[in-house]
Structure 1
Amino acid sequence: MNGETILVTGAAGFVGASVARAFGAAGYRVRVLVRASSPRDNLLGLDAEIVTADLMDPGAVAAACGGAAGVVHVAADYRLWARDPEEIVRNNRTQTENVMRSALAAGVQRIVHTSSVATLGLDRLPADETDPLTHDLAIGAYKRSKVVAERLVEAMIAADGLPAVIVNPSTPIGPRDVRPTPTGRIIVEAATGKIPAFVDTGLNLVHVDDVARGHVLAFERGRIGERYILGGQDVSLRTMLGDIARLVGRKPPTISLPRGPLFPLAWAAEAVAQITGREPFLTADALRMAGHHMYFTSAKAEAELGYTARPYGVALADALAWFGAAGMLR
């Protein structure tokens, strides 16, 4: 299918920018859909047709899908906190539905829906694709929104013949994290000496460019209706913070804190955020999620797609180099 047009949503964002570049490098003609208000920094140097539209506008999304052989839906409201948490759920559900229905109506041959490991349960570690999370067990509005969106896509695959493959990235890190993402904020705060302690948790870290390449592989080789974890390496928060400290020449934090006493701080931070509108660094939902070691395996994607991921330390070094060049580590 090389040479055909692929529409990528969310290409102004962290993951979307890498996905758009990966499809371009694979020989596809890339069309990107971005909001008028989106910063264009991540589009610099990208060889793509730029369509300005709002994913909440079904007509505009339908027009953007016209003539595309494939659609890759990366865009999402990626916030772990909002004054109205249900706004996150509404946004991600409505945007996903608009993209999927428009792609189906346009006769798009293949769709990749970017979900998240947030839609998977953690009953077994490392977790895999066989344990989908139910809406009522999802911690926080963002996780609920991703579960709702993924289940919508699955329902359309079953009922409408939607030609979609689902990918579930773990926790991407690396260059072009302009916002930055919640994990990017941890990297920046740790690198600037503002995280003196840690809680006992862990996550699966992966280079954003490996996730992007995984999208191309899913588009070309993935089975319709299947989900594929695109992950990297399981890492404890203590190890991550220690590695960041060593890379920037700081002393690693050695204080381990229980989660319980941190909840009042999170509630206070959220109360201040209700006034300022600025997303707090610490939230109660984040502390609840930290009660789990969020470890995942990409064995299915490796076996079926030929997916691989570089060592997490390379991703961490690339992230720090980009944040440094962007002036965010001063």
Structure 2
Amino acid sequence: MKSLVTGATGFLGSAVMHSLLKAGHDVRLLARANSDRRNIENLPVEIAEGDLRDHQSLEAAVSGCDYLFHVAADYRLWVPDPQTMYAINVHGTKALIIAAANAGLKRIVYTSSVAALGLTSDGAPADETTPSNLESINGHYKRSKYIAEQTVKELTDQHQLPLVIVNPSAPIGPRDIRPTPTGRIVLDVMHNRMPAYVDTGLNVAHVDDIAYGHLLACEQGKTGERYILGGDNMTLLEILETLDDILDQRKHRAALPLSLMFPVAWLMEKIALITHKEPRATLDSLRMARKLMYFTSDKAIRELGYQFRPARLAFEDAVKWYQDNGYSP
């Protein structure tokens, strides 16, 4: 059985790749010609060079495969040109799913995000049925993932595809080479760049648990269903204190009202347009922080047998990997 994985040069995709290799799959990876390939070096995998924006390369990549794990996405909270993000996350996803449908794959697992789901008004954990709509979603990343998921659902219904959707929460752990926005929180604490915090919260899970959840979705998931693959709900302060404890450091951090951060984020975005470096704070990230981004994985636990380890273990593995790979002093 041969599985095609997109996004394996990145964080979550590389974890899905490792999970499939452990399960005995023959693995083919879709990778751009100029991609950073540290996460796939010296592994028994086949590489199909291509790009989600090059639709002919997608047809070649799915040819001869039994399963598709579409994990790749442009995951940034700020982009100078949003159209690039939509070209990858929406149009590239549509082209890949159509190519997989034409190739007659046995199973397709599409990696959406909890960003595509609704949030509750009282901070209670949301689930797969919590209502959401495009107008209520902030930021191009979240909007692109919402539109992509709606597109995937339509294709699944139209073509009766053997497709399952998974919605990971914030992954934490090893091999976050870029790093992702959640990985930057870990690095900021390690570099003493978090003197303050805002009152928000998110759901965090070990990247390898989320990756194994993809395999469970492939094997046990119901066609057309979606499953949240998450972990522990934590306030930002709890995350920072957990990291402090792992690093054996004691910090006193000030609580900042969100309203004070908006002018700072606005200025950072203006500077980023000149430097072309992603700002440390963005207006969209602050708008997201107005609500607790809490979720429950009960459906995946019940129907897939999904399990997740305590978030502290994910942070420990992330810290160790960053230390071992020269990201921190």
Band of TM-score, shorter chain: over 0.9
Q: CA deviation at 1:254?
A: 3.0
Q: Determine the C-alpha separation between the residues in 2 that align with 1:50 and 1:253.
A: 48
Asked whether the equivalents of residues 21 and 46 of structure 1 are also in contact (C-alpha less than 8 Å), the reply is: no
Q: Among 58, 78, 81, which residue is 1:81 paired with?
A: 78
Q: CA deviation at 1:37?
A: 1.3
Q: Among 4, 15, 19, which residue is 1:7 paired with?
A: 4
| Corresponding residue for residue 48 of structure 2 | 51
Q: CA deviation at 1:171?
A: 0.4
| Corresponding residue for residue 225 of structure 1 | 224
Superposed CA deviations along residues 43-95 of structure 1, whole A, max 9, x for unmatched, are: 02422111111111111100110111110000001111111224312321111
Q: Determine the C-alpha separation between the residues in 2 that align with 1:99 and 1:268.
A: 38
Q: CA deviation at 1:252?
A: 2.8
Superposed CA deviations along residues 137-191 of structure 1, whole A, max 9, x for unmatched, are: 1110000000011000000111111221000000000000000000101110111
| Corresponding residue for residue 276 of structure 2 | 277
SS of residue matched to 2:212: helix
Q: Determine the C-alpha separation between the residues in 2 that align with 1:236 and 1:206.
A: 14
Superposed CA deviations along residues 178-206 of structure 1, whole A, max 9, x for unmatched, are: 00000101110111111011111011110
Superposed CA deviations along residues 116-155 of structure 1, whole A, max 9, x for unmatched, are: 0001111262100002421121110000000011000000
Q: Determine the C-alpha separation between the residues in 1 that align with 2:120 and 2:159.
A: 31
Moved over 4 A (4+): none
Asked whether the equivalents of residues 69 and 110 of structure 2 are also in contact (C-alpha less than 8 Å), the reply is: yes
SS of residue matched to 2:204: strand
- Cα RMSD (Å) of the superposition? 1.0
| Corresponding residue for residue 59 of structure 2 | 62
The residue type paired with residue 23 of structure 1 is L
Q: Determine the C-alpha separation between the residues in 2 that align with 1:276 and 1:282.
A: 15
| Corresponding residue for residue 132 of structure 2 | 133
| Corresponding residue for residue 108 of structure 1 | 105
| Corresponding residue for residue 322 of structure 1 | 321
Superposed CA deviations along residues 184-237 of structure 1, whole A, max 9, x for unmatched, are: 011101111110111110111100000000000000110010000000000110
When residues 98 and 317 of structure 1 are mapped into structure 2, their CA distance, relative to the original with a 3 A threshold, is: same
Unpaired stretches in structure 1, ≥5 consecutive residues: none
Q: Determine the C-alpha separation between the residues in 1 that align with 2:78 and 2:58.
A: 27
| Corresponding residue for residue 188 of structure 2 | 189
When residues 115 and 253 of structure 1 are mapped into structure 2, their CA distance, relative to the original with a 3 A threshold, is: farther
Q: Determine the C-alpha separation between the residues in 2 that align with 1:167 and 1:269.
A: 33
The residue type paired with residue 328 of structure 2 is L
Q: Determine the C-alpha separation between the residues in 2 that align with 1:68 and 1:253.
A: 53
Q: TM-score, normalised by structure 1?
A: 0.97
Q: Determine the C-alpha separation between the residues in 2 that align with 1:162 and 1:238.
A: 43
Q: Determine the C-alpha separation between the residues in 2 that align with 1:228 and 1:243.
A: 27
Asked whether the equivalents of residues 7 and 33 of structure 1 are also in contact (C-alpha less than 8 Å), the reply is: yes
Q: CA deviation at 1:250?
A: 2.2
Is the aligned partner of 1:123 residue 2:120?
yes
The residue type paired with residue 208 of structure 2 is D
SS of residue matched to 1:251: coil
The residue type paired with residue 59 of structure 2 is A
Asked whether the equivalents of residues 52 and 88 of structure 2 are also in contact (C-alpha less than 8 Å), the reply is: no
Is the aligned partner of 1:96 residue 2:115?
no
SS of residue matched to 2:129: coil
Q: Among 20, 23, 26, which residue is 2:20 paired with?
A: 23
Is the aligned partner of 1:72 residue 2:69?
yes
Q: Determine the C-alpha separation between the residues in 2 that align with 1:56 and 1:327.
A: 33
Asked whether the equivalents of residues 166 and 227 of structure 1 are also in contact (C-alpha less than 8 Å), the reply is: yes
Q: Determine the C-alpha separation between the residues in 2 that align with 1:290 and 1:326.
A: 30
| Corresponding residue for residue 148 of structure 2 | 149
SS of residue matched to 1:55: coil
The residue type paired with residue 247 of structure 1 is I
When residues 196 and 222 of structure 1 are mapped into structure 2, their CA distance, relative to the original with a 3 A threshold, is: same
Q: CA deviation at 1:243?
A: 1.1
SS of residue matched to 2:300: helix
| Corresponding residue for residue 235 of structure 1 | 234
SS of residue matched to 2:175: coil
SS of residue matched to 1:204: strand
Is the aligned partner of 1:301 residue 2:311?
no
| Corresponding residue for residue 207 of structure 2 | 208
Over the matched positions of the two proteins, sequence identity in percent amounts to: 48
Unpaired stretches in structure 2, ≥5 consecutive residues: none
Asked whether the equivalents of residues 193 and 250 of structure 1 are also in contact (C-alpha less than 8 Å), the reply is: no
